[in-house]
Chain A
Amino acid sequence: MTPVSEPDLLIIGGGAAGLSAAATADGLGLTVELLDERSALGGNLYAGVGKRADDDRAFGPDQVRGRALLAGAAGATRSSSTFAWRIERDGRTFVADGAGGVRSIAPRRLLIATGAMERPVPIPGAMLPGVMYAGAAQLLLKSAASVPAGRCVLVGSGPLLLLVATQLLAFGVRPAGIVETKPRTSLQAFLSHLPSALNAPGLLARGIRLLGKLKASGVPFHRGAIRASIAGRDRVERVEFTDAEGRRQSIEAELVLLHDGIIPNDHVTRQLGCRERWNEAQHCFQPETDPWGETSLPGVFAAGDCTGIGGGRAAELAGTLAALEIARQLGRIAEGERDRQAERPRRALRRQHSFRPFLEMQFPPSIALAGDAASDTVLCRCEDVTAGEIRLAVAQGATGPDQLKSFTRCGMGPCQGRSCSMAVAEIIAKETGSTVEAIGRHEIRSPLKPLPLGQIATAEAEVVR
């Protein structure tokens, strides 16, 4: 029989939010288990913090912060390479580890801290080998100090795109160009969001320094580009786009780093059926939570970027707040004590959030929007389904993402729609005159990932038991 553990708190995800929640909960005397599917803890912002040989060339202050968070959470039972593949509404969680073991955890409270993912970008040619997301390249730099080889061009929009460009420069990689697809924002919109941004002057200053560095580097920076696409026979050969003057341009490339912002990695809260809402400003769905992070399912909490993009510091603070309320629910601290301890993090969180509207206005999704995608653009990477095939299925009467599965197999591959569900909803919305919010996404069932056969057998026996 597979072993069952019964901690006070189980945390899924070992990034900023999960680690800070673990530290707070452990400090208040709760037994805590934390698991992460990656081979090392740290999440996205703090990827690679656990490694011995520190490479702080581009990530200095973040690495210091991340190491402190990791040390703070040392009191929790932590496992990496451990994947939560099925979660029940009462928090009981079935996990699989890399060594082929399956076990279950029956915690008194569950905290989901699965972070963010890069917004999938379905543009022509994005399927070609040699294309990677910009944040993915950053993860390679952070964790394995792996520097991309070949002539590299960054394409898309978002603060992370520009940040990665400067980090590549710090590692001695000179991008052959940045093709920025950020639409120009009106002066009026800029000014109306500026006051709230000034509440977080540190962040604003960081952004301005970043742009300064890029300008000074002399890397060709094509702003206001539209209709970006990637071309090549068996792998990437060039990036094509229409520049701000309306001329079609082509840049040779061996590696294309795509990016168009980040969205909540909400696969786990969706499988659980936590109530979600549409966030118009961030153009994404997110789980509904109360001010402490409790979802629509009592006892199930969510914190950090999986509840809506707030950034690393905000994730850390949200993790702390969730842990405080969990400790109260379990009788470790009284309400008054919870509120006293929550005062400072809550104030700090408000400051972090005040900067968001400015960023959201500056960087709306651009090349990720699929409503008008050319018909041969591949949307579903697992089953190779194109925008044209989806439009055809809609014309034949498929009105929702789940129906589309039987018409096209789109969403039936191993990623369960993680890469395509937004693009599919955008096409259906466009074709039927509806909205993404109304169309929704594919339904998600467990297992959250295909398990190897041996593990499935053990796992099924475990679930039935």
Chain B
Amino acid sequence: MIAREQDTVASFLLRTVDPDRYRQSVVSAQSHAPLCMMGVCFECLVEIDGQKNQQGCLVRVRSGMRIKRQIPEG
């Protein structure tokens, strides 16, 4: 998939997946999506290169990056 210059992980995902597929809360299993795009709300958490709970709106997309959405299993 091709990202734009200055795309963050969150801005990229918002263009490429439906908002209700961004992430699910571990507390309630409800779908959550990015809200503030400026590092305040923590609604954009994703797994990046094996590291969980990264704020997708603060991290610039790099080529080869492995992005995994956080959706509770089972």
- A438 and B64 alpha carbons, distance in the complex (Å): 51
User: What string of 1s and 0s marks CB contacts (under 8 Å) between A28-50 and chain B?
Assistant: 00000000011110001000101
Partner of A235, one of B18, B42, B60: B18
Q: How far is the CB of A131 from chain B (nearest CB, A)?
A: 7
B7 to nearest A CB, angstroms?
A: 5
Pick 14 A–B contacts, CB within 8 A, sort by A: A38-B38, A38-B58, A39-B8, A39-B59, A39-B60, A51-B5, A52-B5, A132-B35, A136-B34, A144-B6, A144-B7, A144-B8, A265-B40, A452-B51
Write out, one digit per residue, whether chain A residues 64-85 have a CB within 8 A of any chain B CB (1) or not (0).
Answer: 0000000000000000010100
A residues near B5, Cβ cutoff 8 Å: 51-53, 144
Stretch of A101-109, A171-179, A335-343, A414-422 lying at the B interface: A414-422
Determine whether the beta carbon of B40 is less than 8 Å from that of A418. Answer: yes
How distant is the Cα of A140 from the Cα of B33 in the complex, in angstroms?
14
Task: Produce 1/0 per residue, A287-300, CB < 8 A to B.
Answer: 00000000000000
Query: Is A244 located at the chain interface by the 8 A CB criterion?
Result: no
Q: Given contacts A40-B6, A413-B42, A415-B41, list 10 more A-B pairs with CB under 8 A.
A: A117-B40, A129-B31, A131-B33, A132-B37, A139-B38, A145-B4, A235-B20, A384-B25, A384-B30, A419-B41
A127 near B32: Cβ-Cβ < 8 Å:
yes
The interface residues of chain A, by DSSP majority, are classed as loop
Query: Within the assembled complex, what's the spacing in Å between the Cα atoms of A43 and B22?
Result: 25
B39 CB contact (under 8 Å) in A38, A140, A381: A38
Quick one: which of A39, A139, A145, A449 has the most chain B CB within 10 A?
A39
Contact of A117 among B14, B31, B38, B58 (CB under 8 A): B38
Q: Is the interface of B mostly helix, strand, loop or mixed?
A: loop
Q: For window 1-24 of chain B, which residues contact chain A by CB distance below 8 Å? A: 4-8, 11-12, 14-15, 18-20, 22
How near does chain A come to B36, taking the closest CB pair, in angstroms?
Answer: 5
Q: How many residues of A contact B (CB 8 A)?
A: 47
Point out residues on A near B: beta carbons under 8 Å. Answer: 37-40, 44, 48, 50-53, 81, 83, 98, 117-118, 120, 127, 129-133, 135-137, 139-140, 143-146, 149, 234-235, 265, 381-384, 413-415, 418-419, 449-450, 452
Contacts of B55 in A (CB 8 A): 449
Q: Is the CB of B33 within 8 A of A132?
A: yes
Residue pair A139, B6 in contact (C-beta under 8 Å): no
CA distance A51 to B7 in the complex (A): 10
- The answer for the CA separation of A422 and B8 in the assembled complex, in Å, is 29
Given A39-B8, A143-B11, A235-B20, A415–B38 Cβ distance below 8 Å? Answer: no
Residues of B within 8 A of A235 (CB): 18-20, 31
Task: Report B's interface with A, CB cutoff 8 A.
Answer: 4-8, 11-12, 14-15, 18-20, 22, 25, 27-28, 30-43, 45, 51-55, 58-60
Question: Whole-angstrom distance between the alpha carbons of A51 and B6 in the complex?
Answer: 7
Q: With a CB–CB cut-off of 8 A, which chain B residues contact A40?
A: 6, 60
A39-B58, A48-B6, A144-B11 known; A381-B36 Cβ under 8 A: no
Closest to A137 in B: B37
Query: Within the complex, which residue of A52, A130, A149, A381 is in contact with B41, where a contact is CB–CB below 8 Å?
Result: A381
B16 to chain A, nearest CB (A): 11
Bound CA span A136–B59, Å: 15
| Interface contact A140-B11, CB-CB below 8 Å | yes
Residue of A nearest to B8 (CB): A39
In the complex, A120 Cα to B35 Cα: how many Å? 10
CB–CB B43/A381 < 8 A? yes
State whether B58 touches A129 (Cβ < 8 A): no
Q: For the complex, what is the distance from the CA of A131 to the CA of B20, rounded to whole Å?
A: 10
Chain B hits for A37, CB < 8 A: 39, 58
- Nearest chain B CB to A216's CB is how many angstroms away? 29
> Nearest B residue to A121 by beta-carbon distance?
B35
Tell me which residues across on chain B come within 8 A of A52, comparing CB atoms.
5
Within 8 Å CB of A418, what residues of B? 40-42
Cα distance A143–B34 in the bound complex, in angstroms: 16
Taking the closest CB of chain B, its distance from the CB of A356, in whole angstroms, is 22
- Contact: B20 with A129, CB < 8 Å? yes
